[in-house]
Amino acid sequence: MGEPTKILPEKISIGGYILERLTQLQVTALFGLPGDFNLAFLDLVEDNPGIQWVGNANELNAAYAADGNARVKRAVSAVCTTFGVGELSALNGVAGCYSERIPILHLVGVPGLSLQKDRAMLHHTLGDGGKVFKEMSSHITCMAASLDSKDNAAERIDEVLTAMLTECRPVYLMLPTNLVLVEIPAERLKVPLPPSVSSPHPLLVPSSDLPTDLQPVKKFSAKEEEVAHAQYAAVRAITSLFAQAKNPIILLDALAERLGAEELVVELAEKTGMKVFVSPMGKSTVWESHPLFSGIYAGSVTVPSVAAQVEAADLVFDVGPLKSDFNTGSFSYGIKCENTVEIRIDRTVVGYAEFPNAGLRSLLPQLITAFSDHFSKNPKAISQEIRSSGGRTEEPSLVAEQSADEITHEYLWKRVSKFFKEGDVIVAETGTSSFGILDSRLPKGATLISQVLWGSIGWSVGACLGAALAAREQKRRTILFVGEGSLQLTVQEIGTMIRLGLNPILFVINNDGYEIERQIHGPERLYNNISRWNHQLLLSSLSPPEDANNYPSNALPVEVERLRTHRSYRVSNRKSLEKLLTDEGFASAPYIQLVELVMPRGDAPRALAKQAKMSAKVNETA
């Protein structure tokens, strides 16, 4: 990543420099809206064959779309807004990326340098020249910067992008209108940027270079020597604990996926025979048909048989932990600290001992090598019991009451397990969908994206747009699950999906209001009600007047289907849902489709019902 992509001219415009760097970082779509302070830059975008200008309905949706795009591509993404009103509209989406460690560039077109210097009372400002906006973004990005001269523009751009790549978080860059077309030397573009921490990567430390003790095999700088000692000390402490453990397991969490380390975790599991459990935010990080995958653990929200296995372990490798309330069952983990190895982004904690600088990306390859050496010398060290005990203990199956007519959550999430295909991209909205999907079983290669920590309702619709763009490049199917309440916040982006010819399957859960809030508090309160929409008209309403569904009245059925650009369904019982899910034409997703799932008010997924009770208790007593 970051490698030069073509023969470069001697000079390039500053705007062109940014686009070339984004191309090197595998960015193929730029999300955002036009505004008078970014129009000159958008001319360059529109003329650039490698980056598609998406053009969103609003800036919040654009940030959501960049989020979803980065998650599916396992690369960085970018959003471009105008000064003040545009950038502030995007901040909620950018904050979600900061919270959940998604690397995006927020590029803001701003007034020219002389206008900034004079603190001109321009539109889109608070009447103070607009200096406050950068400060606001600095709290939800790992770096907020402005270009103030052509002399250091290239270095400044690279500094911002490097921060995004190494921190796996959003960055903010102000691009003055009068600098967009100013030319600078292109020579620096030949210097590669560092790889994104969210991208899949090879072992950071080749096995041939790994020492067997604390003595380094090559001359290190003082800092490198300090890091090496910390890492080797951590490895020794961990392997010592493992040698004594009779029932070790791995608990895989979201940050391992964010840093592209899930394959290393699987390799560690296969070297040692340890069962692998995941957190809710870690779901789909390991394919669930893997023989060592054993379930989802979220404290007291967990299925009892899975919780029993995790809490009975005498050693837990907690890899990439992100211990938020919804990810841990309101902090109800039943794991003892002294039995835990927490492998974090920048350090490792073994019991009560902490090893700074022994972070996830550098430590895992060394652990794998250490365990490989150990088992090559002790071939019987992995007990047959550990090797044969992996695999999920509770297979999702349809509930016994097959004759029931209503589509309940208990039925739905187990039924759609059979509908999913290898490689699917599945987007689950905060609330009923993100909790319900925990009871579905995902096939190999499927990617689940949800926003468990930030939890901004409506996120999934914008994220689905970005995810579907990435999935189209990868020839994968995109499926969205969203409640009808959340849909109303960001529904405009479906129009963008139609304009771009994307073909996601949109499942809209219609349970007559905000069910997650009703589960927590106020089940009969009016504030949890929403406006009722005719969802069957949405796709037509958000399509252009010349939409192909306005086909001639005398068209033959085969012609109608060929001309169709979208289709909507309303299912309110299991029989009709079963018929739809087994229809090959529907499953092939030839065009965008919306399925309104009518479900009973008051019904909730198993995990949500438990979590809601705990959240309500915390809200009342904390």
pLDDT digits (tens, 9 = 90+) for 489-523: 999 999 999 999 999 999 999 998 877 888 878 88
Span 154-177, mean pLDDT?
96
Is residue 217 pLDDT above 50, yes or no?
A: no
* Comparison of pLDDT for 56 and 121, the residue scoring more: 56
pLDDT confidence of residue 610: 82
Of 93-102, 232-241, 402-411, 495-504, the least confident:
402-411
Report residue 141's pLDDT band, with 50, 70 and 90 as the boundaries. Answer: very high
Q: What are the structure tokens assigned to 224, written together?
A: 């490198």
Residues 206 and 177: beta-carbon distance below 8 Å: no
pLDDT confidence of residue 555: 55
Q: Where in the chain is the domain with CATH 3.40.50.970?
A: 11-190, 409-621
Is residue 231 pLDDT above 50, yes or no?
A: yes
Span 348-355, mean pLDDT?
92
Span 250-256, mean pLDDT?
94
pLDDT confidence of residue 91: 98
pLDDT confidence of residue 386: 47
Encoded amino acid at 297, one letter: Y
Percent of the chain with pLDDT over 90: 64
Characterize the bridge pairing of strands 315-319 and 248-252. parallel
Is residue 389 pLDDT above 70, yes or no?
A: no
* Comparison of pLDDT for 118 and 403, the residue scoring more: 118
Q: Which CATH superfamily includes the segment(s) 409-621?
A: Thiamin diphosphate (ThDP)-binding fold, Pyr/PP domains (3.40.50.970)
Name the strand (E) or helix (H) holding 68.
helix 59-73
pLDDT confidence of residue 516: 80
Q: Which CATH superfamily includes the segment(s) 11-190?
A: Thiamin diphosphate (ThDP)-binding fold, Pyr/PP domains (3.40.50.970)
Q: Where in the chain is the domain with CATH 3.40.50.1220?
A: 207-388
Burial of 249-272, coded b for 16+ CB within 10 Å and e otherwise, reads bbbbbbbbbbbbbbebbbbbbbbb
CA 86, CA 490: separation in Å to the nearest integer? Answer: 16
pLDDT confidence of residue 227: 73
DSSP SS3 for 390: coil
Q: Which CATH architecture has domain 207-388?
A: 3-Layer(aba) Sandwich (3.40)
Span 207-214, mean pLDDT?
45
Is residue 204 pLDDT above 70, yes or no?
A: no
Cα 533 to Cα 366, 479, 491, 537, 571: the distances in Å are 56, 21, 12, 9, 15
